[in-house]
A and B are shown apart, each in its own frame.
Chain A
C-alpha cells in the first residue's frame, strides 16, 4: 500500500538529518529551498528528479505515475518498449517511497524510473532480444547491471526495443521522437527514443559498434560506451563478447555520470570486468577544460561526414577553445584502414559461437533480418582466421594507446543525421569498440537538411578515464543549450 502524498511530504524536513553522508550529498536540499516542480515531470533531469525526491517534494509513486501517463500518451507514436512492466514498476515505486519515508535513502537512483534494453536478463520478465528465437524466454536471474539498478532503488519500467539480437542499425519499428518518419539508429533504439520522448530518466544499453552512441546521437540524448571492462556484461545477451560494452544513456552528461556510478564496477561473474576502483564520476564534472589537450582527426579522415554534422563538430571546437582547451589535429595509424574488416570478423565469429545452440535447435525461428545468414556464415570462419583479426586488433590498440598519449580526449563528429552511412574514412564508432576506449555522444545541434534532426559530437577518452570524458562533456553541455530542446510529440 502506498503512503499518501501528505505522509511523504510531511517527512520532508526531518529526512535531511539521516546521516552525515547524506548531509554532504548535494541532493540533500530541503523541499522549501527548491522551486515548485513543473506541471509535467517527465522532462526533469534525473538529477533534478532525485533532488526533489530526496527533499520529498515529489514522491517516487507520483513520479512513476507521471511517467506511466507520459508513456501512455507517446508510446503509440514512439514504440520504445517491447515489454512494459507497469505493475512491477509501481510496486518498486511504493517500496522506494516507504524506504525514503523510513530514512533509508539509497542515493540518486532511488525512486527514479529507468528502462533497460531487452538484451538485459530480468528475472521473471521476458527477455526476447527482439527475436522470435527467444520470444518466450524468461530468465531465472537478473543481469548484474539490473541487480545494481534495483539495489540503487531504481524503478524498472520495462524492456526496450532493438533490432533482432542487436544486429544492425535499424530501430526495428521504434520511431525517432524528433521526426517519427526518421530512423532512431540501432541498436539501443528504444532507450534513445524513450529518453528523447521523456518516457524515463535513464537507461542501460549495449554497444558493439555504435549501439549506444549512434541512437543517442540520432535522438538527441547522451550515451556513454564506457571502457571495456568498466561495466559488467554478465546476464546481457552477447553479440560479440570481446567488443560488447554495456553503458548508460540519459538526457544530460551529469545524469549519465550519476547512472554510471551505479552501473560500474568489478563483477566476478564477468571475467572481462576490471578490478579498478570506481570513482564518483560526478566529482569530475566541474573540472572544466582549461588547458585540456583535445585531439581531433585530421581533415581527410572526416571528409565525407554530412555537412551539417561537420559544421556542428567545428562549432563545438570553438566552444572548447573559448573555454581554454587546446585543439591538436592527429592522424590515425594506417591499420585503421583494415580495422573495419577485423571488427566485422571478430564480431561475427563471436556472434556465431553465441548463436550455435539456436542455429542447431531452432534456426527456422529467426526473424526476417539477416541475423541467421550472418551468423551461419560466420560459423564457417576458422579459428586461425578469427585470431588473425584479433592480432590485427591488438596492434591497433597499441598504436591507439600511443596516439592517445599526446592528448587528454579526442573529439570526433558523430552519427550522420537521419542515419545514413557516412562516406568518411573514419567510422566514429567501431574503432573505439575495438580499442575499448570510452566514448560519449553529446548533443551538439540540429540539422538544416533534413531539418530539425539532432546532431552530436563524440568525446573519446583513455581507458578508465571516463572522468575526463565527462568533464569535457559537461563543460560543453553547460555552455550550450542543445540538450534543453525537446521534440514536439
Chain B
C-alpha cells in the first residue's frame, strides 16, 4: 500500500526527493532539497487529491491533447 503524502514526515519527503533526483541522473544539493521541498510537497498533496478519484479501467490519459470542431476530445496519440 502506497504511503499517502499527507502522512509522510518532511524528512521522508526529502529522502524521496533525493532518491528520485538521483534516479533521474540529476542529484540535488542539500541546499536545493531545502529550497524545492515546499513545492514538491505541494505537488504530492495535489496528487493525493487526484488519487482520491476512482478511475475506471477504460479511462485513458490525454497523452497528446487535441480537439476537434465537432466537439469530441481526441483519444490521444500522435497526429
- Verify that A and B bind, or say they do not: yes
Q: Which residues of B contact A374 (CB under 8 A)?
A: 39
Q: Which residues of A contact B17 (CB under 8 A)?
A: 377, 380
Q: Is B8 an interface residue (CB 8 A)?
A: no
Q: Is B51 an interface residue (CB 8 A)?
A: yes
Partner of A344, one of B43, B67, B72: B43
Q: How far is the CB of A401 from chain B (nearest CB, A)?
A: 5
* Given A380-B24, A381-B43: A392 and B67 interface contact (C-beta under 8 Å): no
Say whether B47 contacts A463, CB under 8 Å. Answer: no
Interface residues of B in 35-57 (CB under 8 A from A): 35-40, 42-43, 46-47, 49-53, 55
Say whether A463 contacts B61, CB under 8 Å. Answer: no
* Given A341-B46, A392-B53, A397-B62: A405 and B71 interface contact (C-beta under 8 Å): yes
Partner of B59, one of A276, A373, A391, A404: A391
Q: Is A234 an interface residue (CB 8 A)?
A: no
Q: What is the chain A residue whose CB lies nearest that of B62?
A: A394
Q: Is A313 an interface residue (CB 8 A)?
A: no
Say whether A271 contacts B69, CB under 8 Å. Answer: no
Say whether B67 contacts A380, CB under 8 Å. Answer: no
Q: Which residues of B contact A344 (CB under 8 A)?
A: 42-43, 46
* Given A370-B39, A401-B72: A345 and B50 interface contact (C-beta under 8 Å): yes
Q: What is the chain A residue whose CB lies nearest that of B45?
A: A341
Partner of A274, one of B59, B63, B69: B69
Q: Is A395 an interface residue (CB 8 A)?
A: yes
Interface residues of A in 372-402 (CB under 8 A from B): 372-374, 376-382, 385, 387-395, 397-398, 401
Q: How far is the CB of A392 from chain B (nearest CB, A)?
A: 5
Q: Is A228 an interface residue (CB 8 A)?
A: yes
Say whether B79 contacts A387, CB under 8 Å. Answer: no
Q: What is the chain B residue whose CB lies nearest that of A359?
A: B26
Say whether A228 contacts B67, CB under 8 Å. Answer: yes
Say whether A390 contacts B62, CB under 8 Å. Answer: yes
Q: Provide the bound-state CA to CA distance between A390 and B36, in Å.
A: 23
Say whether B21 contacts A229, CB under 8 Å. Answer: no
Say whether B47 contacts A391, CB under 8 Å. Answer: no
Q: How far is the CB of A270 from chain B (nearest CB, A)?
A: 10
Q: Provide the bound-state CA to CA distance between A436 and B71, in Å.
A: 11
Q: Is B7 an interface residue (CB 8 A)?
A: no
Q: What is the chain A residue whose CB lies nearest that of B63?
A: A390
Q: Is A342 an interface residue (CB 8 A)?
A: yes
Q: Is A242 an interface residue (CB 8 A)?
A: yes
Q: Provide the bound-state CA to CA distance between A374 and B24, in Å.
A: 16
Q: Provide the bound-state CA to CA distance between A392 and B61, in Å.
A: 7
Partner of B73, one of A338, A391, A397: A397
Q: Which residues of A contact B37 (CB under 8 A)?
A: 377
Q: Is A272 an interface residue (CB 8 A)?
A: yes
* Given A378-B39, A394-B60: A342 and B71 interface contact (C-beta under 8 Å): no
Say whether B61 contacts A394, CB under 8 Å. Answer: yes
Q: Is A464 an interface residue (CB 8 A)?
A: yes
Q: Which residues of B contact A380 (CB under 8 A)?
A: 16-17, 20-21, 24, 36, 40, 43
Say whether A391 contacts B72, CB under 8 Å. Answer: no
Q: How far is the CB of B15 from chain A (nearest CB, A)?
A: 12
Q: How far is the CB of B76 from chain A (nearest CB, A)?
A: 8
Say whether B26 contacts A276, CB under 8 Å. Answer: no
Q: How far is the CB of B66 from chain A (nearest CB, A)?
A: 6
Say whether A385 contacts B71, CB under 8 Å. Answer: no
Q: Which residues of A contact B51 (CB under 8 A)?
A: 388
Q: Which residues of A contact B35 (CB under 8 A)?
A: 372-373, 376
Name which of B28, B35, B42, B43 has the most chain A CB atoms within 10 A of its CB: B43
Interface residues of A in 462-486 (CB under 8 A from B): 462-465
Q: Is A39 an interface residue (CB 8 A)?
A: no
Q: Which residues of A contact B69 (CB under 8 A)?
A: 274, 276, 463-465
Q: How far is the CB of A223 from chain B (nearest CB, A)?
A: 20
Say whether A462 contacts B47, CB under 8 Å. Answer: no
Partner of A348, one of B20, B24, B43: B43
Q: Is A360 an interface residue (CB 8 A)?
A: yes
Q: Provide the bound-state CA to CA distance between A83 and B16, in Å.
A: 43
Say whether B43 contacts A242, CB under 8 Å. Answer: no
5 pairs across A/B with beta carbons < 8 Å? A345-B47, A377-B40, A380-B20, A463-B67, A463-B71
Known: A345-B46, A436-B65. 16 other contacts (CB 8 A): A229-B66, A338-B49, A341-B47, A341-B50, A348-B43, A376-B28, A377-B40, A380-B17, A380-B21, A385-B47, A388-B51, A389-B50, A393-B62, A405-B71, A463-B69, A465-B69
